[in-house]
Chains A and B, each alone.
Chain A
């Protein structure tokens, strides 16, 4: 059984047929070749598969593609190409906030969403926001640093 599926991905209208059991993450990766959405645990624990569904971060592995019908999906590719993450990406690079990079797309989606919804989160709030994203390389400290420095820079930029 396949079902028609219409949705918007990174601003582009998409019409496909999918099996109901296909997760949104598998659909994005296998059908649309948007492989920046990573799959780690496939059970909603690791946070590598986060995408924005109608503007909010969700686990691509826990949403069936058919349930995203009519929705607006933004993946790490769409956010990166728009330039919305450029300063976060630069800070992650500068602070060595990634080693293998597997968790990075999910980390960036969480960080982006945090900065959109919370004006000036402190380190505690950054840690709480990241609590659903696993990183097995960095020990998190450098990721928190990168996000904190981006907040400072955005505040300076806004004040200038």
Chain B
């Protein structure tokens, strides 16, 4: 199908983009990589009067290491996330997950920021950035504001981003020493949307888990933190018995609904299998070298 007609403006600064949006009286959408917007227009799920192209704004580009952490511009492509050496060193969970996001040609064009603001519950990056305690740098008509990830993903395809605001970049706080992290997912075919996926972030000192963040995707309306599993791991050795105990409580954290592709109980079972696999892998791994 073809999209309905719309106007198009290429913005050359954030302030110009915000002005264009203000003049559209809310009847405009941002366009960057276009890999969610363009199909949704072709399927006629949306019909804005104007697309404002923000894909060439320098303020949204670049991956840089700062004192506050790793700052990733919203226009970074999935391919950049996959191959960027700074991401690989300072946010390896993201590089690991990027290999599972869609297919190579999609990754060349689709943007990290676009993926996050779409907030597809089946998508990998939202779960990973929740695990990494990311901070969203948002700019709008009232100026800039920072939103922590715990306040960002609100519901199915719904974030704290207000209409007319732009996600400029995402800050990943520095990785602590003795961090062990891993991402994996179960999909019918590589690159397909996962039946379930999980990002695990553990600080393990002398064999004992001191901090834990675990976040799943494809099991609820948002990326889902497994806080009871985290609690079950914290303060205990990362070993087989504790991993079994953690798997056992996952059913209290997650309650996936039945849908056309899978019964909820199957999805929960798969989540439990995946959790066990990642935790066993991390138990056998020595702490990653942090760049401190």
> With A21-B5, A62-B39, A63-B34 given, is the CB distance from A132 to B109 under 8 Å?
no
Which residues of the partner chain A approach B103 to less than 8 Å between Cβ atoms?
A: 47, 131-132
- B61 shortest CB reach to chain A, Å: 15
- Tell me if B283 counts as interface (CB < 8 A to partner A): no
Which residues of the partner chain B approach A57 to less than 8 Å between Cβ atoms?
A: 104-105, 108
Check if A63 sits within 8 Å of B6, measured CB to CB. Answer: no
- Tell me if B236 counts as interface (CB < 8 A to partner A): no
Knowing that A62-B39, A64-B38 are A-B contacts, what are 14 other residue pairs whose CB atoms are under 8 Å apart, sorted by A's residue number? A19-B5, A20-B8, A21-B2, A47-B103, A53-B108, A56-B109, A57-B105, A62-B34, A62-B35, A64-B34, A66-B8, A66-B53, A67-B55, A110-B105
- Tell me if B1 counts as interface (CB < 8 A to partner A): yes
Check if B53 sits within 8 Å of A132, measured CB to CB. Answer: no
Check if B5 sits within 8 Å of A62, measured CB to CB. Answer: no
- Tell me if B241 counts as interface (CB < 8 A to partner A): no
Can you list the 7 inter-chain pairs with the closest CB atoms, starting with the nearest? A132-B103, A20-B8, A43-B39, A57-B105, A131-B191, A56-B108, A21-B3
Q: How far is the CA of A47 from the CA of B34 in the complex (A)?
A: 16
- A19 shortest CB reach to chain B, Å: 7
Check if A62 sits within 8 Å of B104, measured CB to CB. Answer: no
A side interface size, CB within 8 A:
30
CB under 8 Å from chain A, chain B span 27-41: 31, 34-35, 38-39, 41
Residues of B within 8 A of A (CB): 1-8, 10, 31, 34-35, 38-39, 41-43, 51, 53, 55, 79, 102-106, 108-109, 189-191
Which residues of the partner chain A approach B35 to less than 8 Å between Cβ atoms?
A: 44, 59, 62
Q: How far is the CA of A67 from the CA of B35 in the complex (A)?
A: 12
Contact among B4, B38, B43, B189 with A62 in the assembled complex (CB-CB below 8 Å)? B38
Contact among A19, A53, A69, A132 with B104 in the assembled complex (CB-CB below 8 Å)? A132
> With A21-B2, A43-B43, A132-B102 given, is the CB distance from A62 to B109 under 8 Å?
yes
Which residues of the partner chain A approach B8 to less than 8 Å between Cβ atoms?
A: 1, 3, 20, 64, 66
Q: Mark A11-38, 1 if CB is under 8 A from B, else 0.
A: 0000000011101001000000000000
Check if B7 sits within 8 Å of A42, measured CB to CB. Answer: no
Which residues of the partner chain B approach A128 to less than 8 Å between Cβ atoms?
A: 190-191
Q: How far is the CA of A62 from the CA of B37 in the complex (A)?
A: 9
- A82 shortest CB reach to chain B, Å: 20
Contact among A1, A3, A58 with B108 in the assembled complex (CB-CB below 8 Å)? A58
Which residues of the partner chain A approach B10 to less than 8 Å between Cβ atoms?
A: 66, 69
Q: How far is the CA of A124 from the CA of B190 in the complex (A)?
A: 11
- Tell me if A129 counts as interface (CB < 8 A to partner B): yes
- Tell me if A50 counts as interface (CB < 8 A to partner B): yes
Which residues of the partner chain A approach B106 to less than 8 Å between Cβ atoms?
A: 44, 59, 62, 132
Which residues of the partner chain B approach A43 to less than 8 Å between Cβ atoms?
A: 39, 42-43
Q: Which residue of B lies closest to A41 (CB)?
A: B39
- A147 shortest CB reach to chain B, Å: 14
From B2, B6, B79, B103, residue with most partner A Cβ within 10 Å: B103
Which residues of the partner chain B approach A62 to less than 8 Å between Cβ atoms?
A: 34-35, 38-39, 106, 109
Check if B5 sits within 8 Å of A44, measured CB to CB. Answer: no
Which residues of the partner chain A approach B105 to less than 8 Å between Cβ atoms?
A: 47, 50, 57-59, 110, 132
Check if A58 sits within 8 Å of B109, measured CB to CB. Answer: yes
Which residues of the partner chain B approach A131 to less than 8 Å between Cβ atoms?
A: 103-104, 189-191
